[in-house]
Amino acid sequence: MTRYPESLQKIILLLRKLPGVGKKTAERYAFQMISWKKEDQELFASLVAGLKKNLTICSECGAIYEGNHCFFCNTTHRDPLLLCIVSSPKDIFSLENTRLYNGLYHVMPGLISPIDGIGPEELHLEHLKNRIQKHAIREVILALDSTIEGDATSLYLKKEIESLGVFVSRLGLGMPMGSSLEYVDEGTLSRAFSSRSPL
Ligand SMILES: [Zn+2]
């Protein structure tokens, strides 16, 4: 069997680390990259190389930002009385695109999953509760995945947050069962956000 040149083979192996990319797709992508203009190849390489240096995970909310300050924690142009809880930093951008929400965010460090050994103690609830109390949050919106893990986490969070005397709502109808927020289209997400209801 003839093997690919080593540098090409290494790129294929790296591309296969991406979600949903199998061997065939990775090979197709890698061969496509060979035909890219030199500037694009260099830009791609330098952007990937700079990801860890240029992007910061906010220690307060868990969002990803570039520069000195977290855009989503800036209460001068965001409503500090609302807090939306999501499963991943990527979900924040999906919700921002609906233009229906202008409050604060909180990215969960994980979702409850007994199979993966993730229990409530992995959710760093103290940090979340401190934020809710510090900002005197009026409403917490649960926008976690509509999966078994997301539902279990939502139920747990609802109980914990309501014990602080804070109103808890959840994205409404239209969220497909078993889906992660990442695969929900913008229209569906907008409707789910507008029709949010008490859990
Ligand atoms: Zn932040």
The pTM for the full model equals: 0.82
pLDDT for 172 equals: 67
Phi and psi (nearest 5°) for 149?
-65, -45
Q: Predicted confidence band at 192 (pLDDT cuts at 50, 70, 90)?
A: confident
Mean per-residue pLDDT for 171-198?
Answer: 72
- Please say if the pLDDT value at position 136 is more than 70: yes
pLDDT for 176 equals: 64
Ligand 1 is an ion; its neighbours by CB within 5 Å are 58, 60-61, 63, 70, 72-73
CA 54 to centroid of ligand 1, rounded, Å: 15
CA 64 to centroid of ligand 1, rounded, Å: 8
pLDDT one-digit tens code per residue, 69-109:
999 999 898 999 999 999 999 999 999 998 889 999 999 99
Q: CA angle, corner 87, sides to 80 and 89, nearest 5?
A: 70
pLDDT for 4 equals: 93
- Please say if the pLDDT value at position 17 is more than 90: yes
Q: DSSP letter string over 77-139? A: SSEEEEEEEESSHHHHHHHHHTT---EEEEE-S---BGGGTB-GGGG-HHHHHHHHHHTT-SE
Contact yes or no for 62/119 (Cβ under 8 A):
no
